[in-house]
């Protein structure tokens, strides 16, 4: 009986969350027609505040009815953690093993046990300076992905 009550409680909680999600989506879409499609709505650690995610990693905040939209950073003052930045880092993280290493120039110095990936523009002065600094590092494998954005 105890397990049945817990399952029923979780189901009701889930229904409430999905109804809230739907209400937030509906109200924001009606009130802000130029707002891109909402990817996700989820509760934040702050009671009554919901994260609204659009364009994969853009984060806004709203109340339970979608009456207010906040564009800013949510910081947990107790732990001094920037929750918005932490969430965006999680959303935009790329697993190193998923990089298309076959498309990179690979340079190995020493035993190459340390591995990094570098995205650089051949016309970028800062990139060239970083490349010179990397020459001082031993036992490294550098995967260089060309990212030419400075020349047309």
Contact call for residues 121 and 150 (beta carbons, < 8 A): yes
- Among residues 6, 1, 52, the alpha carbon closest in space to that of 27 is found at 52
Rounded to the nearest angstrom, the gap between the alpha carbon of residue 47 and the centroid of all alpha carbons in its chain is 22
Query: What number is the average pLDDT over the span 57-85?
Result: 96
Query: What number is the average pLDDT over the span 43-58?
Result: 95
Name the band, by pLDDT with cuts 50, 70 and 90, for residue 53: very high
User: What share of the chain has pLDDT > 70, as a percent?
Assistant: 88
The residue to which tokens 């990693």 are assigned: 57
Mean pLDDT of the chain: 89
The DSSP bridge pattern shows strands 114-120 and 105-109 to be: unpaired
> pLDDT at residue 98 above 70?
yes
Task: Read off the pTM.
Answer: 0.66
pLDDT of residue 28: 95
> pLDDT at residue 89 above 60?
yes
Distance CA 69, CA 28 (A): 9
pLDDT of residue 13: 46
């Amino acid at each position: 009986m105890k397990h049945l009550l817990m399952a029923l409680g979780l189901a009701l909680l889930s229904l409430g969350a999905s109804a809230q999600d739907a209400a937030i989506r509906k109200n924001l879409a009606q009130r802000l027609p130029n707002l891109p499609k909402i990817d996700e709505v989820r509760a934040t650690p702050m009671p009554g505040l919901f994260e609204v995610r659009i364009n994969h990693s853009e984060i806004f905040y709203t109340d339970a009815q979608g009456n207010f939209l906040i564009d800013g950073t949510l910081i947990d003052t107790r732990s001094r953690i920037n929750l918005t930045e932490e969430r965006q880092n999680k959303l935009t993280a790329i697993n190193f093993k998923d990089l298309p290493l076959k498309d990179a120039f690979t340079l190995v110095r020493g035993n190459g046990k340390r591995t990094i990936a570098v995205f650089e523009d051949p016309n970028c002065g800062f990139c060239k300076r970083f490349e010179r600094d990397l020459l001082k590092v031993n036992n490294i494998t550098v995967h260089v992905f060309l990212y030419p954005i400075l020349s047309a």
